Amino acid sequence: MPTLLVLDFDGTMTDAEAEGAPFRAGYLDDLCMLVGRPAGDPEILAIADAVEAELAAAPAAHPFLWMGRAVAPATVDPYLRMVPIAHRVLDRFEAIPSALDRGRLLGGVLYKYNYGKTLGRPVFRANAGLALSQVAARATWIVTNSDTHHVAGKVMSLAAAYPNVQPLGERVRGMARKFDVDDRWEGVAAELPLPGLDRPVLLRRHAYHDILAALLRDHGATWSDLVVVGDIFELDLAMPLALGARVGLVASTRTPAYERAFVEAHPRARIIDDLAEIPAFAFGAL
Ligand SMILES: [Mg+2]
C-alpha cells in the first residue's frame, strides 16, 4: 500500500522558540506600556521568566484551554505561554480587571499585532530543507493550524536552496483546527490515558480527522498507511495514532517528559531527534 506522509509545520519544521522571539519581545513591551512601565522593564521581564519556569517545571498542570477544555500543554508554544504571563503581569499591577476586556486585548489585539512581527522571517530547524526536499516527490502533505498561505510562503522560502521542495508549496492544508474537540462525533475513542498526565488526552478532533481522511481517500490509502510527524503529541499525533497510523514526535527541550516516555514505549511511535530521519522513517530507504 502507498505510504502517505503528513507533516505539521510550525514547531515541527521550524524552531518555534527562535521564530517566536520577536512576538515575545514585542508583546512584553506592550504589557510594560499598559502598566505604565518603560519598554524592557526588568520587573516585567522577571515575571515572564518566572511564569515560563513554572510552566516548564510542571507541564501537565498547565494545559492550554480551548472552549473550556484542556487540549494541549501550554508550555511547548511561545504564543500559548504569553497568555498566562500577561495575566500575571496585569494582576501584579491591578490593570484591566475585566475578563472580557483582557480576552479581547490579550488573545486579539496584542496577539495579532505581535504575531505580525514574526511573518516573513521563518527560522527553520536543522535539516528541514533537506528532509522536505527528499519527501516532496512522494505522497506528502503539510497539515497545519496556521494560515495556508503563510505556511506555503515559508516552504517556498526554502526553494532557492532546495529547489525540489517546490511541489510542497501546493500541498498545504491550513486552518486544520487541531484544537477542536467534537464530543458528538464517534469516529474514535473519546480519550487516551497517558501515564504521568492526570487528565486524559481528548481524541475527538473531528475537523483534523476529516482533513486526514480526505487525503487518505485521495491517495487510495488507509490509516495504517499514514505517517504523521508533529511537535505536539496531543494536537498532531494522538488521534491518528489511535486510528492506526505511525507517528513521529519531533522533540525539543520543552517536550513534556510524559509525552516522550509514551512515544518511546509505543510500537508505532518514535521520537525524531533530527529532521533528516523523517524520509526513511516514512518511506523506508529512499
Ligand atoms: Mg506545531
CA 237 to chain centre: 11
CA of 14 to the centre of ligand 1 (A): 9
Tens-digit pLDDT profile for residues 13-41: 999 999 999 999 999 999 999 999 999 99
Which of 75, 96, 118 terminates a domain? The answer is 118
- Name 218's Cβ contacts closer than 8 Å, sequence gap at least 6: none
CA of 8 to the centre of ligand 1 (A): 6
Examine the domain organization and report whether 79 and 132 are in the same domain: no
CATH code, 186:
3.40.50.1000
Degrees, nearest 5: CA angle 16-255-140: 60
Examine the domain organization and report whether 11 and 137 are in the same domain: yes
Examine the domain organization and report whether 26 and 161 are in the same domain: no
The b-or-e profile of 51-77 (16+ CB within 10 A means b, else e) is bbeebeeebbebbbebeeebbbbbbbb
CA of 286 to the centre of ligand 1 (A): 26
Tens-digit pLDDT profile for residues 196-248: 999 999 999 999 999 999 999 999 999 999 999 999 999 999 999 999 999 99
Examine the domain organization and report whether 30 and 8 are in the same domain: no
CA of 235 to the centre of ligand 1 (A): 8
CA of 237 to the centre of ligand 1 (A): 11
Which of 94, 118, 142 terminates a domain? The answer is 118
- Provide the percentage of residues in the chain whose pLDDT is more than 70: 99
Residue with cell 503563510: 150
Which of 74, 99, 118 terminates a domain? The answer is 118
Examine the domain organization and report whether 232 and 135 are in the same domain: yes
Tens-digit pLDDT profile for residues 255-276: 999 999 999 999 999 999 999 9
Degrees, nearest 5: CA angle 119-76-89: 80
Examine the domain organization and report whether 133 and 73 are in the same domain: no
CA of 101 to the centre of ligand 1 (A): 28
70 and 58 in contact (C-beta within 8 Å)? no
Tens-digit pLDDT profile for residues 117-157: 988 889 999 999 999 999 999 999 999 998 899 999 999 99
pLDDT-derived band of residue 286, with 50, 70 and 90 as boundaries? Answer: low
Q: Which domain holds residue 77?
A: 17-118
Examine the domain organization and report whether 154 and 55 are in the same domain: no
pLDDT at 1 over 70: no
Q: What is the mean pLDDT of residues 154-161?
A: 94
Per the structure, the count of domains in the chain is 2
Examine the domain organization and report whether 109 and 129 are in the same domain: no
Examine the domain organization and report whether 249 and 165 are in the same domain: yes
CA of 86 to the centre of ligand 1 (A): 22
CA of 97 to the centre of ligand 1 (A): 32
What residues sit around ligand 1, an ion, with C-beta below 5 angstroms? Answer: 8, 10-11, 231
Examine the domain organization and report whether 106 and 127 are in the same domain: no
CA of 278 to the centre of ligand 1 (A): 16
Examine the domain organization and report whether 12 and 102 are in the same domain: no
pTM score above 0.85:
yes
CA of 37 to the centre of ligand 1 (A): 33
pLDDT at 75 over 90: no
111 and 95 in contact (C-beta within 8 Å)? no
CA of 94 to the centre of ligand 1 (A): 34
Examine the domain organization and report whether 212 and 98 are in the same domain: no
Tens-digit pLDDT profile for residues 180-196: 999 999 999 999 999 99
